[in-house]
Amino acid sequence: QGTSVAFGGMSQDTDAPVEVSADQLAVNQSDGTALYTGNVVIGQGEMRLAAPRVLIFYTEDESRIDRMEASGGVTLVSGEEAAEAERAVYSIDAGTILMTGNVLLTQGSSALTSERMIVNLDDGTAQMTGRVRTVIGNSSDETGQ
Amino acid sequence: MARRGDSYTRLIGWLKLALPLMALAMLSTIFLLPRRSEPVNTLPVHAGDTPGAAREQIVAPLYTGTTAGGDRLSFTADTVEPLSDGLQQILAHSLVARLDLTDGSRIGLRAQTATIDDANRSADLQGAVRIDSSTGYVIDTERLRSAIDRISAETLAPVSGTGPAGTFTAGKLTIRSDETTGDVQLLFTGGVNLIYDPQDP
């Protein structure tokens, strides 16, 4: 069973430019993989995805970025909401972010936890699946951002 | 009166003998006299080192070498001229270098000038340095120092360029081969910023 929640409030233009900033980028010459490390922040419109490591995957013809895989503890912020998880896969063309591993979504004073969450940036919704639990905290500072 | 006539005739007789002898003597020593123009010391000999005249240049040289790991390095230039005596240091103009790596990929280097120092096996590329890699990266910088006997280079200036997708800037680029795996890596450090536009990658 999954829980749909609003995420990021308004829909977002997933064709907007994507910016990635990091301390370091290592490109492997033989297979062309690009690994960003150190305070990596991926941004598009209102969305910010921060992680210590992000690996870039290109499409077959190597002309577009297919997806970005963030790992090592990921924080996703969009508008008012924030979500944390162990890993996240951001598919740019699809406009989705799949977060997996101890997902914690905080919305104002309440928080939801689950195993997986798919955020759809197009329409600003998120779908949480896998042991979804809601924590309604009375004091917002305890669970809020 | 005859006696005076007699000595006069004797004088003329001696003169008729002495004068031709003197003439002969003078004629025979004429070659000893220095001539006005000495042909030997007025040859147009070039003295002193006027610039440009004495530098020799090698045109379109080609240098190829193989690193210990088996990667092939070759570079050519428009002109090359020795900086110091002997060929320890040479200055190459509009250098084009190429690294053919054992894993089949390729890195191209290009620069306006390059000082190649044979002693410490390094080349110092300057001026519109462009690094293009077969992984789709084209990187521009102002200065790059590279070893010439192994895969190791680092830029001495910030870099900007385009990747397979997106354009980026970085503080520095280091090209090195991983000791364990032997894979060659382009390492951008000093803060990297990539901008990828999904509409025109």
A116 touches chain B (CB under 8 A): no
- In single-letter form, the type of residue at position B42 comes to T
Q: Is A123 on the interface with B (CB under 8 A)?
A: no
Kindly report the nearest CA distance between residue B158 and chain A, in angstroms.
Answer: 13
Decide if pLDDT at B122 tops 60: yes
CA distance from start to end of chain A: 26
Residue B190 buriedness (CB in 10 A; 0-12 / 13-18 / 19+): middle
Chain A contacts in chain B segment 96-135 (CB below 8 A): 101, 103-105, 107, 133-135
How far apart CA B72 and CA A80 sit, in angstroms, is 55
B189 CB neighbours in chain A (<8 A) are 23-24
Residue B11 located in a structural domain: no
Tell me, yes or no, whether B154 lies in a domain.
yes
Q: Which residues of chain B lie closer than 8 angstroms to A21, CB-CB? A: 191-194
Residue B57: pLDDT above 70? no
- Determine whether the interchain pair B193/A19 forms a contact, defined as Cβ–Cβ distance below 8 Å: yes
Cβ atoms B167, B161 nearer than 8 A: yes
B139 vs A35, B34, B150, CA distance in Å? 17, 75, 20
Report whether A127 contacts A3 (CB < 8 A): yes
| B31 within a domain of the structure (yes/no) | no
Distance CA B62, CA A18 (A): 43
Q: How far is CA A37 from CA A21, B29, B82, B195, in A?
A: 9, 100, 43, 16
Is residue B124 within 8 A of residue B109, CB to CB? The reply is: no
Q: Tell me, yes or no, if A32 comes closer than 8 A to chain B by beta carbon.
A: yes
Question: Residue B43 — pLDDT band, cuts 50, 70, 90?
Answer: low
Q: Which residue has the tokens 């003439």?
A: B23
d(CA B171, CA B191): 6
Residue B173 falls within a domain, yes or no?
yes
Task: Answer whether 0.80 is exceeded by the pTM.
Answer: no
- B199–chain A Cβ distance below 8 A for any pair: yes
Interface size, chain A vs chain B, as Cβ–Cβ contacts under 8 Å: 99
**CATH number (domain holding residue B81):** 2.60.450.10
Give SS3 for B111: strand
List the single residue in B103, B166, B192 with the smallest CB-CB distance to A22: B192
The pLDDT value recorded for residue A4 is 79
CB B168 within 8 A of CB B193: yes
pLDDT in tens, chain A (145 residues): 577 777 765 667 778 899 999 999 999 888 888 999 999 999 998 899 999 999 999 888 888 899 999 999 999 998 778 899 999 999 998 999 999 999 999 887 888 999 999 998 888 888 999 888 888 766 544 444 4
Domain assignment present for residue B152? The answer is yes
Per-residue pLDDT band at B96 (split at 50, 70, 90): very high
Residue A28's closest chain B neighbor by CA?
A: B185
Structural domain of B169: 58-196
Which residues have a Cβ under 8 Å from the Cβ of B80 and sit 6 or more positions away? B57, B58, B61, B90, B91, B92, B93
A53 interaction partners in chain B (CB closer than 8 Å): none
Cβ contacts of A65 on chain B, cutoff 8 Å: 165-166, 196, 198, 201
pLDDT value of residue B145: 95
Strand partners, A4: A127
Give B74-88 pLDDT, tens digit per residue: 888 888 888 877 778
Query: CB neighbours of A81 closer than 8 A, spacing ≥ 6?
Result: A6, A7, A8, A9, A105, A106, A107
Count of domains observed in chain B: 1
Closest alpha carbon within chain A to B162: A63
